[in-house]
Amino acid sequence: MKRPIVGILTATALAVGAAATLAPTASAAVTPTCSATTLCTWKDGGYSGASYSFPANKYVTIQKNDLKFTDGSLINDNISSVYNNSPMRATLYTNSNYQGLSWSLPPYTGIYSLAGVYNDSFTSIYMTVA
Ligand SMILES: [Ca+2]
Q: What is the pLDDT of residues 106-126, one digit of tens each?
A: 999 999 999 999 999 999 999
CA of 69 to the centre of ligand 1 (A): 10
Confidence label for 24 from pLDDT (cuts 50, 70 and 90): low
The domain over range 24-129 is classified in CATH as 2.60.20.10: yes
Contacts of 94 (CB under 8 A, 6+ apart): 100, 101, 102, 117, 118, 121, 122, 123
The 10 Å Cβ neighbour count of residue 48 is 14
Say whether pTM exceeds 0.85.
no
Q: How far is CA 125 from CA 2, 4, 117, in A?
A: 52, 48, 16
Round to whole Å and give the CA distance between 19 and 15.
Answer: 6
- φ, ψ at 117 (rounded to 5°): -70, -15
CA of 80 to the centre of ligand 1 (A): 4
CA of 130 to the centre of ligand 1 (A): 27
Confidence label for 23 from pLDDT (cuts 50, 70 and 90): low
C-alpha count within 13 angstroms, C-beta hemisphere, residue 41: 32
The mean pLDDT value for 78-90 works out to 97
